[in-house]
Structure 1
Amino acid sequence: MNNKFFFGIAGYALLLCVNGCATSVQINQPADNYITTGNKQFLLAKQAPISAETSARGAVIKIDKRVRYQKFIGAGAAITDATAINLNRLDAPSKERVLNELFSRGGLGFSFTRLTIGGSDFSDRHYSFSDKKGEFSLSTIKDTIIPIAKEAKRINPALTIMATPWSAPSWMKTTDSMIGGTLRRENYDDFADYLLRYTDEMGKAGVKVSMLTIQNEPDFSPPDYPGMKLSPQDRADFLKNHLGPKMGTRKDTPKILEWDHNWDKPEQPLAVLNDDGARKYLTGVAWHCYAGNVATQNEIHNAHPEMETYFTECSGGEWNKSFSDSFVWQMDNLIIGSTNAWAKGVLMWNLALDENYGPHLGGCGNCFGVISINSKTKEITRDSEYYSFGHLSKFVMPGAVRIGSTQDIAGLKNVAFQNPDGSIALLVLNKTDSKQAFSAQIASKYYNAELLPFSAITIIFK
């Protein structure tokens, strides 16, 4: 998207900044900046400040605070059962240090996370919170996920928590199992009650769930871990005739997001969004990275600009051991690509795994977490996910607004945000194998920089 006014559908897509926008800060001070290089020479490393100049050197990225897009809620990763198990292997002071490193504003500043409603492939057993009709208990996670989510929220009060089921409880399904099958039609109300009971009980436990999706990856039926296919027609029926009406009688209900699956099948969320009865209960659409292209987010936004966009799952793994390749791909597609395609929040999958890529039960046997905690030595390893997401979450605050910046510059990708305090964060990625010079222009001032091959920089203009 270029820095010209982009109108999407009937001008809805763009908000112009008029009286009251936070644009009064005068950008003249030297700009702080942090870089990560593909060769690991620099890892979120602070560099010498960049001074304002009167002329440009290299390609110009013009930042326009008047062109304003979506409001950002944050970036982060999921607190899965595996995450909780690994963090709980640490002694109390070490766990506190790690959580502060990940969630505090002095650390990475993660302000978005995802919880699983019951077991997933990254659990040590497959479970739900309701073993039979009329029963419900959070006992499985009361000493694991719940205290970690509460501590993360204490460290960062701006933390937004979403939650997703991998499967309905076994007794509601055609397979009578957490694995495979679909939801029995006579149990649609039971499943709606289950989701709402979960948010109620989590709230009572001190964990406010602000967003829900009704099914993780509803077009995929895993053979060895919890999953459940739900067609677009079934999801629309469930929303408009079961979950939605039950939500309408309540005072404080979470936002509901559609899809929570890959970029490659936009026709599925479109089918649900085009159903008027279902759409009125939806707030937005959630996306995963495992198939398709991030540009699909633009397609859905343009068709339904009233819907919010969130990116909610991606994982690196042993299939790509190159730090440089993984880092560049994540910056290109998730950090810059997804936010330029309207994402208000961006999530990786597991926050913490061990040296054996788990614990897990079925599913991915070689996925990476944002961090790895060695189960024997307790050593912490930070891989590409840590640094790519850090370039966003550490410097772009909840409540920041994406603003205009010149796109389509050969070899360079970028996105810009204005923070609530008026400061501006510009993220730039050099995808090429050669050094690239560029200049960030704000009004009549130029901030000139050179970016090493396969590297990213975040520049903060105060």
Structure 2
Amino acid sequence: MIFRLLIIVLIVLLFSGCKKGETPSSPGNKPPIVDTSAVTIQIDASHAYQLIYGFGGADIVEWTGDLTPDQRIKAFSPETGIGLSILRLRVPVDSSRFAEAKATVDACKSYGGIAIATVWSAPAWMKTNNSTVGGKLKPSAYGAFAAYLRAFNQAIGGLTAISPTNEPNIQVDYESMQMTASDVADFVAAEGDSCGAPIMAPEPYNMDQTFINAYLNNSDAKAKTKFICGHIYGATPYPLSVDKPVWMTEHFTNSNVSGDDWSNAMQAAKEINDCMNAGWGAYVWWYIRRSYGPIGENGQIQKIGYVMAHYARYVRPGYVRIDCTANPESNIYATAYTNSAKIVVVVINQRHDDIYQRFTLNGAQVTKLIHYYTNASSNFVADSSAVNSQFGIVLPALSVNTIILSHL
């Protein structure tokens, strides 16, 4: 009897400690406490920057084998895949291999993408050292080399841009041409309008501004160059002082780390963010399918791929970057884009805690928000809500977030 009375007393005490409408709770079902960013991200759709040509990767058939039909869908579909919209190719030194990647080119184009190509080496007989490693293009071979590029462009089904040299400013022990900025410019000045596709150049290692400036000092080469391109190995993205679109056409973060490693993928996300904020119009990863790439050797999309998809699926060719608070506080990074019908905001949270981030929008009216996030354990978790010009969302810890704003 005494024991039963004690039980009754304990139950009464437990419920008397709860306010009306409450039930006893455990730490697991208490509402989370989320920090709020002290700085609002301000988006101004009326203030436009660069045109976005896309996000992509390389398919070098002779070196890694071609993408399979299933991998092409995973690479290029903006609905079920990564949504890559730029395919980078190598111009083979053997013309019999010109059309090897055409099925992949056609797949990329079928999803609204483009193909570009880079020369690692001209055929050996066109070069000063009669080798595909090192040396430079002979001036006497300029016409033949231009004809070679035209033939490749035709065989592959048409390119948006072609580069006559890959990283000409460094010496390597693989297929290459070691050329000065003046060497590259001399060829483009002479034959740049005869290569079958618009010229992108000079494609230096480390996006060397000095090399680029020296190339552009040739006024004829400058006039025949549509895009300035380069790689960011050993460099941090920065605004280039050129009056042409700038493309980052090759980089990878770490070939010794899996493409499924989340900390490495977060590094790639920050790199894309920085390239866009530098005013560049394209970001192209190295191999599409590789252990450290967007798609693994098993054919599955990896974390690098999901990070790229946060940009590539939604920031399609023809979008423009618009004004956006780039770094509202430590370890929060943002860019914004529009095609007039929609506004896309990509926000990276490198903090180790969730944060409630406020936004304000000027220059456009929106009524609907869709939010996707990816973190170490989840890919493209989605939620949606009605919004107006002021809104807020929770950015999960260590996550990449895409916010799509539209007016319906």
Distance 2:358 2:250 in 1: 33
Indicate whether 1:413 and 2:333 are aligned.
Answer: yes
* CA spacing shift, 1:289–1:320, aligned 2, 3 Å: farther
Match of 1:111 in 2: 85
- The separation in 1 between residues aligned to 2:398 and 2:322, in whole angstroms, is 24
Q: RMSD of the TM alignment (CA)? A: 2.2
> Could you say which residue in structure 2 is the equivalent of 1:453?
397
Matched ranges for 1:389-428 at <5 A: 389-410=308-329, 411-420=331-340, 422-428=341-347
Residue 67 in structure 1 maps to residue 41 in structure 2: no
1:98 aligns with 2:71: yes
**Following TM superposition, by how much is the alpha carbon of 1:58 offset from its aligned partner in structure 2, in angstroms?**
4.3
2:136–2:179 Cα contact (<8 Å) kept: yes
Which one of 320, 330, 345 corresponds to residue 268 of structure 2?
A: 330
Question: CA separation in 1, counterparts of 2:63 and 2:108?
Answer: 13
Contact 2:42 2:361 in 1 (8 A): yes
Q: How does 1:379-398 map to 2 (within 5 A)?
A: 379-398=298-317
In 2, Cα distance between equivalents of 1:217 and 1:429: 30
Of the three residues 369, 382, 406, the one matched with 2:293 is 369
Which 5+ residue runs of structure 2 have no aligned equivalent?
Answer: 1-35, 363-387
* Distance in 1 separating the partners of 2:125 and 2:47: 51
Query: Taking structure 1 as reference, are residues 245 and 257 closer, same or farther at Cα in structure 2, changes over 3 Å only?
Result: closer
Asked if the contact 2:199–2:225 (Cα under 8 Å) also holds between the matched residues in 1, the reply is: yes
User: Could you list the runs of 5+ residues in structure 1 that have no partner in the other structure?
Assistant: 1-55, 89-94, 119-127, 130-136, 248-252, 358-367, 374-378
Q: What is the aligned residue count?
A: 343
1:226: Cα distance to partner? 0.6
Instruction: Measure the CA separation in 1 of the matches of 2:306 and 2:211.
Output: 33
In structure 2, C-alpha distance between the alignment counterparts of 1:264 and 1:246, rounded to whole Å = 26
Letter of the 1:352 counterpart: R
**For each residue in 1:213-266, what CA deviation from the matched residue of structure 2 results, as whole angstroms up to 9, or x when unmatched?**
11011112321x2111110111111111x213646xxxxx42211222333521
Name the aligned partner's letter for residue 165 of structure 2. Q
| Counterpart check, 1:236 vs 2:155 | no
Match among 77, 80, 89 for residue 60 of structure 2? 80
Aligned to 2:188, the other structure's residue is in SS state: helix
Aligned-pair distance for 1:140?
2.1
User: CA offset at residue 349 of structure 1?
Assistant: 1.0
Q: Tell whether the 8 Å contact from 1:73 to 1:345 is kept in structure 2 after alignment.
A: yes
- The whole-number CA distance in structure 2 between the counterparts of 1:211 and 1:275 is 20
1:7-406 equivalences in 2 (<5 Å): 58-81=38-61, 85=65, 87-88=67-68, 95=69, 97-107=70-80, 108-118=82-92, 128-129=93-94, 137=95, 139-142=96-99, 144-154=100-110, 156=111, 158-202=112-156, 207-223=157-173, 225-240=174-189, 242-244=190-192, 246=194, 253-263=196-206, 265-295=208-238, 298=239, 300=240, 303-305=241-243, 307-321=244-258, 323-333=261-271, 335-353=272-290, 368-373=292-297, 379-406=298-325
Q: What amino acid is the match of 1:370? A: P
* SS of residue matched to 2:315: coil
What is residue 30 of structure 2 aligned with on the other side? Answer: none
Q: TM-score, normalised by structure 2?
A: 0.78
SS at match of 2:204: strand
Give 1:434 deviation, angstroms.
3.1
Whose radius of gyration is greater, 1 or 2?
Answer: 2
Partner secondary structure for residue 149 of structure 1: helix
Amino acid of the residue matched to residue 112 of structure 1? I
Answer yes or no: is the 8 Å Cα contact 1:86–1:352 preserved in 2.
no
2:281 partner SS: strand
Q: Is the 8 A contact 1:188 1:238 kept in 2?
A: yes
Shift of 1:453: 2.8
- Deviating beyond 6 angstroms after TM superposition, the runs of 4 or more aligned structure 1 residues are none
Q: Per-residue displacement from partner, 1:328-354 (whole Å, max 9, x unpaired)? A: 211111x2111111222211111113x
Counterpart contact for 1:57–1:448, Cα < 8 Å:
no
How many angstroms apart in 2 are the aligned matches of 1:196 and 1:274?
26
Among the aligned pairs, what percent are the same residue?
Answer: 24
How much has 1:168 moved relative to structure 2?
0.6
Measured in 2, the distance between the counterparts of 1:189 and 1:348 equals: 31
Say if 1:372 and 1:428 are closer, same or farther in 2 by CA, change over 3 A: same
Amino acid at match of 1:171: W
Corresponding residue SS for 2:327? coil
Which deviates more, 260-269 or 319-328?
319-328
User: In the alignment, is the contact (CA less than 8 A) between 1:263 and 1:292 conserved in 2?
Assistant: yes
Q: Who is 1:48 aligned against?
A: none
Q: Does the CA-based 8 Å contact 1:263-1:294 persist in structure 2?
A: no
CA distance in 1, matches of 2:89, 2:46: 36
Deviations 1:80-113 (A, max 9, x none): 116872534xxxxxx3x33222212312222111
Q: Are the structure 2 counterparts of residues 455 and 425 from structure 1 closer, same or farther at C-alpha, using a change threshold of 3 Å?
A: same
1:353-396 per-position Cα deviation (integer Å, ceiling 9, x unaligned): 3xxx5xxxxxxxxxx232123xxxxx334333201210101111
Give the superposition deviation at 1:408: 3.2
Deviation at 1:201, TM superposition (A): 3.1
Question: Is the 2:37–2:355 Cα contact (8 Å) retained in structure 1?
Answer: no
C-alpha displacement at 1:212, in angstroms? 0.8
Residue 141 (structure 1) shift: 4.8
Q: TM-score, normalised by structure 1?
A: 0.69
